[in-house]
Amino acid sequence: MRILVLGGDGYLGWPTAMHLSNRGHDVAVNDNFARRSYDEEMGVDSLVPIATLDERVAAWTEVSGRTIKSYVGDLCDAAFVHQMVGDFRPNAIVHFGEQRAAPYSMIDQAHAVYTQTNNVVGNLNVMYALADTDIDIHLVKLGTMGEYGTPNIDIEEGWFEVVHNGRKDRVLYPKRPGSFYHLSKVHDSHNIEFGCRIWGMRATDLNQGVVYGADTEQTKLDPRLATRFDYDAVFGTVLNRHVIQAVLGHPLSVYGDGSQTRGLINIVDTVECIRLACENPADRGEFRVFNQMTESKSVLEIAQTIADTFPGEATIEHVDNPRVEAEGHYYNVKHSRLEELGLKPTLLSEALIDHLFDVVERHKDRVDISAIMPTVDWRATASQLPRTASELTPTAQ
Amino acid sequence: MRILVLGGDGYLGWPTAMHLSNRGHDVAVNDNFARRSYDEEMGVDSLVPIATLDERVAAWTEVSGRTIKSYVGDLCDAAFVHQMVGDFRPNAIVHFGEQRAAPYSMIDQAHAVYTQTNNVVGNLNVMYALADTDIDIHLVKLGTMGEYGTPNIDIEEGWFEVVHNGRKDRVLYPKRPGSFYHLSKVHDSHNIEFGCRIWGMRATDLNQGVVYGADTEQTKLDPRLATRFDYDAVFGTVLNRHVIQAVLGHPLSVYGDGSQTRGLINIVDTVECIRLACENPADRGEFRVFNQMTESKSVLEIAQTIADTFPGEATIEHVDNPRVEAEGHYYNVKHSRLEELGLKPTLLSEALIDHLFDVVERHKDRVDISAIMPTVDWRATASQLPRTASELTPTAQ
């Protein structure tokens, strides 16, 4: 198949592109390097050094004998997206190309507006380019488990049967997301469902859990093929941060009482889920939702697992939760559909955590410990006169 | 109370501002005249001639002895919104200031992106300005009944109790809107609910039905106080279009078989609903939803009512439905909460329709009959190379 990976220079986009290429697909990547510019803005950097996209693509050809085409440009530029899709004519578009950090979207008004504009406009442009070029192009869109919030009922895969006042319907699962970032993905989901309904688009919305891990089979082949590993409080995810804290001999910081639960997935399962979704496309007009996670753990359980596995001393410290979220909530997520397509889950294990300790040990001189503690507070609106509209356009960063 | 009406130069914003001012509130209006520029773009005009905002405000002072302050500027300009809210320091913000035509949002990629960016960014800026200035400012936001779509279960007022696999929760009512415009309002609703949850905002989301009618008590006082009356296929609503067709001796065009049902509300009830919502604010942290409609009728019933009331000959003609929507669907909408606050519904009556015939008769030389038939097709993506991103910023029109 011909597969276009949007956000193909990112933490998951790049390993996905290599995984699909390794499986014999004809792969192209798109990126505007927004993720690298967020590092500049926040004054942080990936723990693992990463090559430029040009170096990555060249190294991949050297190592695998296969080529990955690259399109550099912004998804908010409709003409660019239209030309790219018309030029590559993919069978599937895998869409990782969005601002994906909840804390980043909560910094202030400008970051909230940037996140929603960037994500929603980029996705609309992809929808229109696909519909104009070939309505059979399958959109595989990355959503997040955070779209659902923490309802007191079972979380189904995107749709559910509801009985109300004696009548039945199959409706979209109600969403109650936890940040302006998570909200942007809810907006995307609604827009895409509409595209399926009116144009007959084929779409798979992957509501992904928190991804952990530093490597896939391909990233390990050459240092130039490594993917980024974020540990800062804005872009780093909970598990990766704790691993670094353990290695550096710092207490593992747990937000609040730690009873809030997250759906998790290993990076090696993520790339496999994308392959399975692409190779088994949605039907014409189908808006299909998969919950892309393999296990649930509370934030405290995650910290305890890291502490228990760490060969040295590791303590846990509770800090004020900067987020507004339920603790001690019900959390029962259905996630069988990807396994029905063939996913064999790789659960969190000592071996994996040991590998992460090695990765961090190798690069621990690059850690800026001050970047780990949370600085973005969900309750604050960062009161200050916002910048003007001209600075808030989709491409402004 | 001090009430700021956003979109205060529009069809409903202007009558609402006068109604609130007439009731003794201290009112300011905001507008960027986007609605007037859509007329220029589409080559159409209000059936009823309308004065400029300056003329309106001056006439209102002359007629009523009361003043309405005006702020001219774009809600997508965050600094402007912040300054306006800080300067006027309202108790309530009534937010009509969005692009509000479904067909306009469906013209092509640029209009879909413009509609969602303009509406979502404007609303986010209002939320941040309010939260930064005074979290007690009550946001009264205009949504639409079109957010719900046509589910096979009763439509509740924004929230509902759901029982699923033996467990219960109160969740947001699932939405399945019918255009990129309706989707923009769904996005707004989700963003506002989040603002209530994390910042403790007070918000009332008014899911309004199709508004009909040309006058309120205040618009009739002086020709300079008249509000616009749209009849074109893009901005005109179904009932108003049929009145014009009847007066001009043209067949009343019904989309499809006409069995699709709409919630309706008279313009005199709209302004009263806004007053009731402002004078009975939501609690701190409350996201309150009212279905702002008073009766349901199928599109065919509406046409038949007009035809039956018209003193001359009026025939009905079915045309292909340009929209993608269910016909012959279940439609049972709960709408008791505004009546509980004191709304006395003014239902569609012969007297009202007779008044509309008079209004149209008076201005029928201004009608461009070619503007009445639908030109925007929901199924088409208007294939053409989109403009570049720089032309798609929130303020571009």
Phi, psi of A167 (to 5 degrees): -120, 155
pLDDT at A380 over 90: no
pLDDT at A391 over 80: no
CB A53 within 8 A of CB A31: yes
Half-sphere exposure of B61 toward its Cβ, with a 13 Å CA cutoff? 12
What span, in angstroms and rounded, lies between the C-alpha atoms of A370 and B313? Answer: 79
Give percent above pLDDT 90 in chain B.
Answer: 89
User: Across the interface, which of A82, A109, A378 has its CB nearest the CB of B198?
Assistant: A378
**Lowest-confidence pick of A224-228, B117-121, B389-393:** B389-393
Q: Does B344 touch chain A (CB under 8 A)?
A: no
State the count of interchain CB pairs (< 8 A) between A and B. Answer: 210
Answer whether residue A388 is part of any domain: no
DSSP strand pairing (B261-266 vs B295-298):
antiparallel
pLDDT at A386 over 70: no
Total of domains in chain B: 1
pLDDT at residue A373 in the model: 84
The encoded tokens of residue A323 equal 């987020």
Summarize pLDDT for A56-101 with one digit per residue, the tens.
Answer: 999 999 999 999 999 999 999 999 999 999 999 999 999 999 999 9
What span, in angstroms and rounded, lies between the C-alpha atoms of B306 and B30? Answer: 35
Q: Which residues 76-95 of chain B have a CB within 8 Å of chain A?
A: 76-80, 82-83
pLDDT at A384 over 80: no
Give the position of tokens 């933490």: A11
Answer whether residue A389 is part of any domain: no
- A109, B128: Cβ pair inside 8 Å? yes
Q: Does A136 touch chain B (CB under 8 A)?
A: no
Q: Which residues of B are catalytic?
A: 144, 181, 185
pLDDT at residue A102 in the model: 96
Mean pLDDT (chain A, rounded) = 94
Answer whether residue B158 is part of any domain: yes
Answer whether residue A290 is part of any domain: yes
pLDDT band for position B383 (cuts 50, 70, 90): very low
Answer whether residue B198 is part of any domain: yes
pLDDT at B387 over 90: no
Provide the CATH number for the domain around residue B51.
3.40.50.720
pLDDT at residue B382 in the model: 65
- A117, B120: Cβ pair inside 8 Å? yes
Mean pLDDT (chain B, rounded) = 94
User: What pTM, to 2 d.p., does this model score?
Assistant: 0.95
Secondary structure class of B253 (helix, strand, coil) = strand
pLDDT band for position A283 (cuts 50, 70, 90): very high
ipTM given for this complex: 0.95
Q: Is A141 a catalytic residue?
A: no
Secondary structure class of A189 (helix, strand, coil) = helix
What span, in angstroms and rounded, lies between the C-alpha atoms of A201 and A198? Answer: 8
Answer whether residue A322 is part of any domain: yes
Residue A297 structural domain: 2-374
pLDDT at A385 over 50: no
User: What average pLDDT does this structure show over A153-177?
Assistant: 96
Q: One of A115, A117, A133, A144 is an active-site residue; which one?
A: A144
pLDDT band for position A372 (cuts 50, 70, 90): confident
Answer whether residue A384 is part of any domain: no
**Nearest to residue A246, comparing CAs of A310, A193, A157, A171?**
A310
User: What average pLDDT does this structure show over A268-272?
Assistant: 98
